[in-house]
Amino acid sequence: MTEHLKVDEKTSRRDLVTQLDRENQAKIIQKLKQLLPDSKILAEEKQSGIENDKGLMWVIDPIDGTMNFVKQQEDFAVMIALYEDGQPLLGYIYDIMRDVLVHGGKGIGKVFNNEIEIKQPQNIELDDGLIGLSGPMLVRNVYHFQEIEEISLGTRVLGSAGIELIRVLLGKQVGYISHLKPWDFAAGNALAPVLNLKLRYIDDTAVNVLKSGVVLVATKKAYSAIINIVD
């Protein structure tokens, strides 16, 4: 997997891309275009041509957690979502190394962990769960992240939105907060509501699949607690 890996920096030394991100994305786009020829594509490594959210649109992160992919060869994910007129129909988060595919959405009214339907996670409080947080945002204490950490049972910093989202969807973490691009939250936004979880911007507004922002996904109880802290 790591043979001949060509690693480039994008916006900073912590923001990496490899030729496998690009190759993987090209293959995914080709397959999805065959499936729905009239669909639009919004993808991490090719950001152009999307002027509005009308019609069918695929949102693709070919490798989420590229730093983990490069350094750890684990804790990264492929994420794909299908939207129609800006509303999520289906989401797919694939943790390749664990061979765990979490997928589903409003389009089918269910979410699966591979072939097994996922039950709604317990609606636990912030102080009864582990919370996934962005490391740099925790250090800078934006949005009172340090208070959120102290109320929770502990923080986890995994370095991949996809892996963190899987943990929340499976009820392993009470929530996750980070600054996310559309392809980082698009699949999670298709999956979370089906499992009675809330996913919104940290200012308590609905996410827009064309707009980046700080996104909070959590059980309803933890969501309320965090919004109160952040306010």
| Amino acid letter, 101 | L
What is the DSSP-derived secondary structure letter of residue 106?
Answer: T
Minimum Å gap between C-beta 124 and its own copies is 10
DSSP secondary structure letter of residue 225: H
Quickly tell me which residue has 């204490």 as its tokens.
141
Minimum separation from the CB atom of position 117 to its own copies (A): 18
- Stretch in the footprint of its own copies (CB under 8 A) among 24-32, 82-90, 138-146, 176-184: 138-146
Total number of residues that touch its own copies (CB under 8 A): 27
Q: Which residues contact 43 (CB under 8 A, 6 or more apart)?
A: 25, 28, 29, 58, 59, 60, 61, 62, 183
Q: What Å distances lie between residue 80 and 59, 91, 92, 146, 208, CA to CA?
A: 6, 6, 5, 31, 16
Between 155 and 194, how does the x/- string for binding to its own copies read (CB under 8 A)? xxxxx-------x----xx---------------------
Instruction: Assess 104 for contact with its own copies (CB under 8 A).
Output: no
Q: Which of residues 38-67 bind its own copies (CB under 8 A)?
A: 67
Q: Site residues (CB under 8 A) for its own copies? A: 13-14, 67-68, 71-74, 129-130, 135-136, 138-139, 146, 149-150, 153-159, 167, 172-173
